[in-house]
A and B are shown apart, each in its own frame.
Chain A
Amino acid sequence: MLPFIVRRLLVSIPLVLLSSFLVFVMVANAGDPLEDLRLNPRTTEAQIAQAERNLNLDKPVLERYRLWITDVLVEGDLGVDNKQQSVGAQLRRSLFVTLRLVLAAIFIAIVAGLAVGVVSALRQYSLFDYGSTFAAFLFFSLPVFWLGVLLKEFVALPLNDALEDLGFARFFGTVQENTPGFEGGFWDRLNDTAGHLVLPAFTLVVISFAQYSRYTRASMLDTMSADYVRTAQAKGLSRSRVVTRHALRNALIPVTTVIALDFGAVFGGAIITEQVFQWKGMGTLLIDNIRQLDVNMVQGWLLVTAVTVVVFNLVADVLYAYLDPRIRLD
């Protein structure tokens, strides 16, 4: 198993480096970060020249990239943004916030998606199957931003009102990831975080859930008609054992690939969801800094995201190899 992991890692590294280079070129050509400064009639030539030197704008692109990448690799330093604030620190804070959302969403989507997919496959052509199929199609067609706004404006309020009527505290928070300036003990803070997490996570869950349930259903239908399932039945094994240890166990293999490939899309969805619910996460960070053409920040952002995606894919690959012994020899 270990040589497998090492091999995958070795392949990933040049990939990330190459993508970071391409992105650097892309961002560097996206526009002029000092536009505002230049347009301002009060800035002097000297100030502009100084600003340029600070941001290495006086050097050619390749040189700038080299400087930046050596800083990153050698010192782990992502530099400073246009406002002279640490890129690394901001990214770290934001990444935690976003990962909270993304991982919660993926986890719930997997549990729900697998369950629904398996039941749909076992009860093919039943009402449940048709219902879940239609629901899946509907969820595929929902724009994330629309659903988010729907939940925020038309679901949170009535639910909170209902809770209040029943004598509970209002639970669903729709603004930011925590109530600003919230003071309280561990459990109170946890409750606050959870309350703010539910609706945004649900927004993300919906679409991933649809994907996972469809794939699981298709995969289960394939495995249930496989020869080895017939053998398992011929061996007189109980139905639950046949379904779980034989059919599902094999059906999970392609589903793992789907979940891995979906991570990027979930992350993208998180960017939008953060905008809707005003979370201070990676999404907001990117959009704000794109508007200001903050190269260092955007570069850092893309690098961190790329590494996150690669790590996630690596975890998925390892899981895949664990599930399917045939590819360990690969």
Chain B
Amino acid sequence: MAAPVVARVGGAKPGAQVILDVEDLSVDFDTEDGVVKAVRGVSYQLRAGEVLGIVGESGSGKSVSSMALMGLLPRTATVSGSVRYRGTELLGMARQELNHVRGAKIAMIFQDPMTSMNPVHRVGHQIAEVVRAHEDVTRHQAWDRAVEMLDRVGIPNAPERARCYPHEYSGGMRQRAMIAMAMANDPDIVIADEPTTALDVTVQAQILEALEKVKAEFSSSIILITHDLGVVAGMADRVMVMYAGRAVEMGSVDAIYDGPRMPYTLGLLGALPRLDADGNERLVPITGAPPSLVNLPPGCPFQPRCPLATDLCADQEPALLATDDSNHLAACHYSASLTGEISPDEVFEVTSADATLGAELAAGASAVASAVASSAASSVAEAEPIGAAEQANSPVEGPE
């Protein structure tokens, strides 16, 4: 099983310092059914002041990878690889030392603000708590800072509101309070794990606005984890698409959205409803479901659902390699053939798999099979897989 090969991406903002360097991060969970490989060798870099969007469906490992670097995973998880914050290795750090980083240098905002706040403590108290944990200030000073933070995220009547309990807040206010809690110590990095998923669409906009404001005022870097491509498009500088525990595409927002090089990304974009679409166009879903992370088949994990898949895809898992733009990486043997203006419906079936299957069974499957087999075999042989060519030609970092 080849370890994924990583190419370093050139800086999005020239001269900006790399403050987080994640290298080959892997997370395994020990369960009754076996070892679940939730994250399988993820690598990325985060620069000061940039927003990195991590996109993927449920189970892709996007949340787990962030919780790993914060040390928030349960004891059943085995974390390997390297996560360096400003040169200091975070993985394996003693809890006491890690507590100096968490909440002060790296902060996290979670998905459901109702359950993420302690229901029996006042909101102001919970924010003041994180201040007092990292700075030597009096209770009064910490409380004042809490009120100030609530005000900055747009909570009206902050001094009174600080004395309220979480259940007395509305959903949007709660999430903003969580943002206030995260920003209270002016962290370098804010990890927002699906901050808008649990909220109404109208409230989502408010939260994103609050995050934008926060980024501007505090000049923090943000890791925005979400399955919502629309959210990412608005806020992120760079995007990393994850599937089955690995990064399958990485690049600037424009590059990815305009020209995805991995069929999965293309599929995701196709499944997204667009305001500028023709009313008669159907959404293009990706049929099937993500693979089980316990029994991962060899080869590309997207292969069962990929219309471009060949036998090579089933045998060898493609590495995350640079495409013709060195800042744009994709993990697909056929990423070169996805250049140009391809719309998702050219690659994916517009109708659902059930309808297709039903029609084919009625037509007589065996007849179809033998007729297409001969022509298909010859055409497939013509399409050259990328990996082989690249590995033959360019110097690439070998697997570890």
Contact = CB atoms under 8 A, between A and B. Distances in A.
B95 interface: yes
Given A236-B99, A236-B134, A326-B165, A230 B104 contact: no
A120 to B, nearest CB: 16
Interface residues of A, number: 23
B181 A235 contact: yes
B75 to A, nearest CB: 9
Interface string A202-231: 000000000000000000000000111011
A295 B212 CA distance: 77
Nearest to A234: B108
Nearest to B75: A124
Given A231-B116, A325-B120, A237 B103 contact: yes
B115 interface: yes
Contact of A233 (B72, B115, B178): B72
20 contacts: A227-B115, A227-B116, A228-B115, A228-B118, A231-B117, A233-B102, A234-B70, A234-B72, A234-B107, A235-B107, A235-B129, A235-B130, A236-B102, A236-B130, A236-B134, A237-B103, A237-B129, A237-B133, A323-B120, A325-B119
- Provide the main secondary structure of the chain A interface: helix
Instruction: List the 8 closest pairs (A to B, CB-CB), nearest first.
Output: A236-B103, A236-B102, A235-B103, A227-B115, A236-B99, A235-B130, A228-B118, A234-B108
A70 B349 CA distance: 85
Interface in B125-151: 129-130, 133-134
Interface string A183-199: 00000000000000000
Interface residues of B, number: 31
A233 B400 CA distance: 33
B228 interface: no
B118 A230 contact: no
Contacts, number: 79
B112 interface: yes
B100 interface: yes
Interface of A: 226-228, 230-239, 241, 245-246, 249-250, 253, 323-326
Given A226-B115, A228-B115, A230-B72, 7 more contacts: A234-B70, A234-B102, A236-B103, A237-B99, A237-B130, A249-B120, A325-B120
A241 B133 CA distance: 10
Given A234-B108, A235-B133, A239-B95, A228 B100 contact: no
A234 B99 CA distance: 8
Nearest to A324: B120
B101 interface: yes
Nearest to A325: B165
A327 to B, nearest CB: 10
A228 B165 CA distance: 14
A326 to B, nearest CB: 5
B110 interface: yes
B117 to A, nearest CB: 6
A230 B107 CA distance: 12
**Most-contacted residue by chain B among A233, A234, A237, A323 (CB, 10 A):** A234
A245 B108 CA distance: 20
B152 interface: no
A326 B102 contact: no
Nearest to B71: A233
Given A250-B118, A250-B119, A231 B101 contact: no
